[in-house]
Amino acid sequence: MSNESFLSINDVSKQLEIPAHTLRYWEKQFPVSVKPITGAGGRRYYRPETIAALGHIRTLLYDRGMTIAGVKKIMKDGQFTNHEKIVPVEKPIKLVEPQKQDRLVIDRAIDLLEQARATLIAK
């Protein structure tokens, strides 16, 4: 096993800014996409493609605000592997000061609804 091609759970946790317990939870929720290799003593090591899948899951859950069920549906529909179908959002919407951000929030919501409609129509 090459040290360059596999990362430990702690390294992945730091790289993706996700707690290790969350990564272990995602293993149970997304067993097809998140399959780390276990080494001596049950230590988890992640391949680059698994790290990429974790990054994509993170984007969908944290940045896009999707639920775990929604991400599972995307995986089931086969859209998860085709990253072009899912347009990442640069920054999550923050509703700290609604009076100043009303227009931005409305525009972002309209964009997300249009993306959802385009995805549904394409099916």
Residue-wise pLDDT for 7-25, tens only, equals 999 999 999 999 999 999 9
pLDDT of 64 over the 60 cut: yes
Whole-number pLDDT of residue 85: 44
- Token readout for 97 is 């000061």
Residue-wise pLDDT for 36-61, tens only, equals 998 888 888 999 989 988 998 998 89
Residue 45: its H or E element = strand 44-46
Residue-wise pLDDT for 69-103, tens only, equals 988 888 887 766 544 344 444 445 454 555 555 66
7-84: which CATH number, 3.40.190.10, 3.40.50.300, 1.10.1660.10, 1.10.1040.10?
1.10.1660.10
Domain locations along the chain = 7-84, 93-123
Q: Where are the alpha helices (DSSP H) in the chain?
A: 9-16, 20-29, 48-58, 68-77, 98-122
Task: Estimate to the nearest angstrom the gap between the alpha carbon of 37 and the chain centroid.
Answer: 20
